[in-house]
Amino acid sequence: TSQTWTFQEALAWFYQISDWLRQKKIGEGDIVGIQLHRSVFMPVLMLAILHQNAAFLPIHPEEGPQRLRYLAKNCQLVVYDRTLQTEVIAPAENDLTKESLQEGTSRWKQLCRRAAEDCDRTYPLHALKSQRAYLLYTSGSSGLPKAVQISHYSLMCRLQWMNDTYGNGGVTLQKTVNTFDVSVWELLLAPAYGGCLCLMPQGEEKYTDRIADLTDRWKIQRIHFVPGMLEALVRDLEQSG
């Protein structure tokens, strides 16, 4: 089953997740690990973390326990699927500090009104250009994994260059695993410039027929390929006629 969000709905979730991060005392300089399967929540969570002047650290959803412990020890918070489901989407009934965010509830209607008012507004970026926006860790094949820190300025330059070079009309397909740097522009380019983002179901990025099907169905205009995968896709399309 597919799930579709408008910008207004995404912004309502952005406010909900931002409030949740503030309740967790996440602020400037903190690191938030993201260990989620691909979903519509991922780009919204990334933007909410940046909005707190914190940095996000992508963690593979199936990361091994030893590496996971190593990555998590430097995080003030690690968000994983169960955390998001139980604390943000449907918090426990006996937790009076939170309210379940479901369509039709007063909280949802309030956030949607706020989102509708804010959809056409722009906000200044208060973070310093040199402040880190996200981190990626090396594989650790030659020893302990090493962190690479990417600044807000570097991220903004990449997104601006992508938008200036390729435009943002149409739909962008997000299919790269979140621990690879390419996934960041795939996830953030469309929401940053008012485009449409299509997220590939988890695990289906390995299959050329599924990529071709989504590309045709959603009229995808921007996809990132490594050479080997592009060759496989072209070959399979030629064979299928």
The larger pLDDT score, comparing residue 53 to residue 87, is at: 53
* Predicted local distance difference test score (pLDDT) of residue 97: 35
Residues 6 or more apart in contact with residue 184 via CB below 8 angstroms:
46, 134, 150, 155, 158
DSSP 61: T
Task: Write out pLDDT tens, residues 86-95.
Answer: 777 665 443 3
| pLDDT surpasses 50 at 99 | no
Task: Write out pLDDT tens, residues 175-226.
Answer: 999 999 999 999 999 988 889 999 999 889 999 999 999 999 999 999 999 9
Compute the distance between CA of residue 186 and CA of residue 43 in angstroms, rounded to an integer. 9
Lookup result for tokens 């006996």: 94
Compute the distance between CA of residue 87 and CA of residue 20 in angstroms, rounded to an integer. 8
| pLDDT surpasses 60 at 103 | no
Instruction: Report the sign of the C-alpha dihedral through residues 151, 227, 179, 193, in that order.
Output: positive
Tokens read off for 7? 């910008």
Whether residue 18 contacts residue 47, with contact meaning beta carbons closer than 8 Å, is answered with: no
Per-residue exposure over 16-54, b if at least 16 CB sit within 10 Å of its own CB, e if not? bbbebbeeeebeeebbbbbbbebebbbbbbbbbbbbbbb
DSSP 200: P
Residue whose C-alpha is closest to residue 58's, from 176, 210, 204, 142: 176
- Least confident piece of the model among 98-107, 115-124, 200-209: 98-107
* Predicted local distance difference test score (pLDDT) of residue 170: 84
Q: What is the mean pLDDT of the segment spanning 137-156?
A: 88
| pLDDT surpasses 80 at 33 | yes
Longest dimension (CA), the chain: 59
Output the CA torsion 34→36→42→44 (10° steps). Answer: -60
Whether residue 237 contacts residue 209, with contact meaning beta carbons closer than 8 Å, is answered with: no
pTM given for the model: 0.85
